[in-house]
Amino acid sequence: MGAIHILQGIIAAASSGGGSGGGGGGGGGASYRSWTIEWWSKKQSPQTNTVPRIFSCGVDTGASIGYSNESGGDYIWTGGVSAFGGPTSVGSTANTWFHWAIVSDGTNLTLYRNGVSLSSAPRTGSAITDTTTALTVGTDTSNGWKGLITDFHIIKGTAKYTGNFTPPTSRIQTQTGTQVLLYANGGSIVNAGPISGSASNWTYSTDDPYGDGAGSITFDGSAAILSYQGGSWIALDAA
């Protein structure tokens, strides 16, 4: 078991049961909106780096958003403000598939693991309006993560889940607001969303959480990276 800090400010998102859209208020003059980021991951042990990033917009704790599997716990970085006022106990066992989801409904931020809410709190900090920073998956360009990822999904404008839910049992599908939906299919990376990007040094695995044979994207902890240039699509709190 580890600890997870959710630090909130420039991007975040995820998964839960139901769905809502639109915007909401924000403390300190910030204007928050609804969005979701969800993904399946299966980390491998040992990791190559001490602060391996599953995904990131920016570098290290200054990232507009980033998720890392560290030896002392799991962290989601979003602008330097702790959404839950401290660590949340989570499980991130090696060689086990987990579905992760972070959801903003315009007022609150909720973290889900395998469909169960781990923490929820009012949003604070800066609104997510950065349009220039690239999103990288599998690293923050210098701290690679080692393991498998599939169905990495960013939705702008909708809180896909609004309560505990059953994790997807088949491939996640696009919906209104889908910006990126990444998965492997027969040895190729598919992005079912409208945002184009680049991929290098990844490998294909037949392993996936659904057992449908479509497989997943393998990251080696060093050179593997998927990269998507910034734009209005990643300004999740902008209309």
The 10s digit of each residue's pLDDT in 157-204 is 999 999 999 999 999 999 999 999 999 887 789 999 888 889 999 999
User: Does pLDDT of 9 surpass 50?
Assistant: no
pLDDT at residue 130, as a whole number? 84
- How far, rounded to the nearest angstrom, does the alpha carbon of residue 119 sit from its chain's CA centroid? 16
pLDDT at residue 72, as a whole number? 60
Min mean pLDDT across 20-24, 28-32, 150-154 is at 20-24
Quote the mean pLDDT of the chain: 81
User: Does pLDDT of 2 surpass 50?
Assistant: no
The 10s digit of each residue's pLDDT in 56-81 is 877 665 666 677 777 666 676 665 55
CA distance 96 to 211: 13
pLDDT at residue 35, as a whole number? 94
User: Does pLDDT of 6 surpass 70?
Assistant: no
pLDDT at residue 51, as a whole number? 82
User: Of 114, 34, 123, whose CA–CA distance to 84 is shortest?
Assistant: 123
> What is 108-135 written as a DSSP string?
EEEEEETTEEEEEEE--S------SSPE
pLDDT at residue 7, as a whole number? 36
Contact 221, 52 (CB under 8 A): yes
pLDDT at residue 235, as a whole number? 87
pLDDT at residue 5, as a whole number? 38
Greater pLDDT, 102 or 15 = 102
User: Of 201, 173, 174, whose CA–CA distance to 189 is shortest?
Assistant: 201
Q: What is the pTM of this model?
A: 0.85
Percent with pLDDT over 70 in the chain:
75
pLDDT at residue 95, as a whole number? 93
User: Does pLDDT of 91 surpass 80?
Assistant: no
Greater pLDDT, 81 or 52 = 52
Ramachandran angles phi, psi of 95, nearest 5°: 60, 30
Please give the C-alpha separations between residue 125 and each of 92, 148, 203, 205, in angstroms, as whole numbers.
Answer: 27, 31, 37, 39
Contact 213, 171 (CB under 8 A): no
Percent with pLDDT over 90 in the chain:
44
What tokens appear for 178 in the block? 């889908």
End-to-end CA distance of the chain: 38
